[in-house]
């Protein structure tokens, strides 16, 4: 009950602070930079519905300054010898692989208790989230000052959750939304981006692909380790060694990137099972969704319908159908 109360209180706090973007734009006290960014959001929002067949509603047509760097903090957890995330089940959202808190201290307090119980834990600040159409999600100070392509991608991602949300399948939901996000940003840049923006986006995508490949490599190694018949003591020893190699692999990636350190903010000092689980939730099925989009000749409306049909299947059949293309 306490968790639900903090969720209601957090959402209410956002609703109390949001104002229509038009009102913010007409306010003489609004800083010019914020006005420029909000005007661009309106263009992105129109593009989302017109070009990407995403819901045409009041989401992302209002603005709220929460006075903090993140809207909430997600807590991820995984058993000591598993890369599968722990799940929590809720009335409206079903079972998900994280637990969100509007208070950073509450998130870390909950994470500390999980750690005492023997779980690997990871806490991540979240700039935005979707209420799945229950409310009109606003633009927030937590992401409005990000680069244009990141703002656009986030809006496309969260609107995608309003197109489709499958209870009890975080990986399916997030991978679908990431696919829509990446396709949307690509189309936005093709129409409105400068050559410099398109080049920067291509570089960012290559870095992301490099990082995902690194994560999946070590996730597979750990999964093999945890499934083995060796003693727990030996598993712990090998686990430490694998994560040490993972950190070294990331250091080598940064050298390959010419010293780019943009992923440092998401790379914890001591990576663990929960950290890997948090990343693979968002990326694991993206290649399959991209193939399905290509099969529908890039027609997003048809793609959404195809995904909805697959979503009706039981989980194992759903995954098999998605993987067969």
Q: With CA atoms as reference, report the closest residue to 247 among 259, 230, 229, 264.
A: 264
The answer to whether 126 touches 74, Cβ cutoff 8 Å, is yes
Q: Give residue-wise pLDDT tens across range 30-60.
A: 999 999 999 999 999 999 999 999 999 999 9
- Residue 325 is predicted with a pLDDT of 67
pLDDT, residue 298, reads: 96
Asked whether 72 and 101 are in contact (CB, 8 A), the reply is yes
Tokens at 209, concatenated: 């692909």
What is the distance between the terminal CA atoms of the chain, rounded to a whole angstrom?
42
pLDDT score of 85 more than 80: yes
Find the mean pLDDT for residues 104-120: 97
> Taking the CB of residue 160, how many other CB atoms lie within 10 A of it?
28
Number of domains in the chain: 1
Report the pLDDT averaged over residues 289-304: 96
Is the pTM value of this prediction over 0.85?
A: yes
pLDDT tens, residue by residue, 16-31: 999 999 999 999 999 9
pLDDT of residue 266: 85
| Sequence-separated (6 or more) residues with CB below 8 Å from residue 179 | 286, 289, 290, 293
Please report the pLDDT score of residue 246 as a whole number.
Answer: 97
> Which of 314, 289, 317 is closest to 303 using CA atoms?
289
The pair of structure tokens assigned to 121 is 């834990």
Token pair 């927030």 is found at 140
pLDDT over 70, % of the chain:
99
Over residues 177-191, the pLDDT tens digits come to: 999 999 999 999 999
Cβ atoms of residues 109 and 74 within 8 Å: no
The percent helix, strand, coil of the chain (3-state, each to 5) is: 60, 10, 30
Whether 83 shows a pLDDT value over 90: the answer reads yes
Q: Are 70 and 126 in contact (CB under 8 A)?
A: yes
> Helices in 68-194 by DSSP H: which ranges?
104-116, 148-163, 170-192
By residue range, what is the domain housing residue 144?
2-324
Q: DSSP string of 158-210?
A: HHHHHH---TT-HHHHHHHHHHHHHHHHHHHHHHH--HHHHHHHHHHHHHHHH
């Amino acid at each position: 009950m306490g968790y639900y109360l903090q969720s209601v209180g957090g959402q209410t706090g956002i609703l109390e602070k949001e104002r229509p973007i038009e009102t913010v734009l007409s306010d003489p006290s609004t800083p010019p930079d914020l006005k420029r960014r909000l005007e661009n959001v309106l263009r992105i929002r129109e593009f989302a519905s017109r070009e990407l067949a995403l819901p045409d509603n009041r989401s992302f047509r209002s603005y709220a300054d929460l006075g903090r760097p993140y809207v909430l903090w997600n807590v991820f957890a995984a058993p000591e010898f598993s890369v599968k995330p722990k799940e929590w089940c809720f009335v409206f959202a079903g079972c998900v692989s994280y637990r969100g808190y509007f208070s950073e201290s509450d998130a870390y307090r909950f994470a500390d208790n999980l750690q005492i119980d023997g779980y690997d834990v990871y806490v991540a600040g979240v700039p935005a989230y979707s209420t799945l159409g229950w409310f009109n999600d606003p633009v927030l100070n937590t992401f409005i000052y990000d680069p244009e392509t990141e703002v656009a991608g986030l809006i496309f991602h969260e609107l995608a959750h309003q197109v489709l949300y499958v209870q009890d399948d975080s990986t399916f939901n997030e991978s679908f939304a990431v696919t829509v996000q990446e396709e949307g940003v690509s189309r936005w840049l093709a129409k409105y981006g400068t050559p410099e923006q398109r080049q920067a986006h291509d570089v960012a995508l290559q870095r992301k692909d490099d990082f995902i490949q690194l994560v999946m490599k070590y996730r597979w190694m750990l999964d093999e380790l945890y499934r083995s018949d060796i003693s727990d003591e030996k598993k712990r020893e090998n686990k430490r060694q694998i994560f040490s190699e993972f950190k070294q692999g990331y250091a080598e990636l940064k050298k390959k990137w010419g010293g780019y350190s943009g992923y440092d903010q998401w790379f914890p000092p001591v990576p663990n099972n929960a950290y890997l689980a948090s990343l693979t939730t968002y990326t694991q099925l993206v290649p399959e969704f991209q193939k399905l989009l290509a099969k529908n000749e890039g027609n997003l409306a048809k793609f959404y319908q195809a995904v909805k049909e697959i979503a009706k299947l039981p989980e194992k059949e759903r995954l098999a159908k998605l993987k067969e293309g």
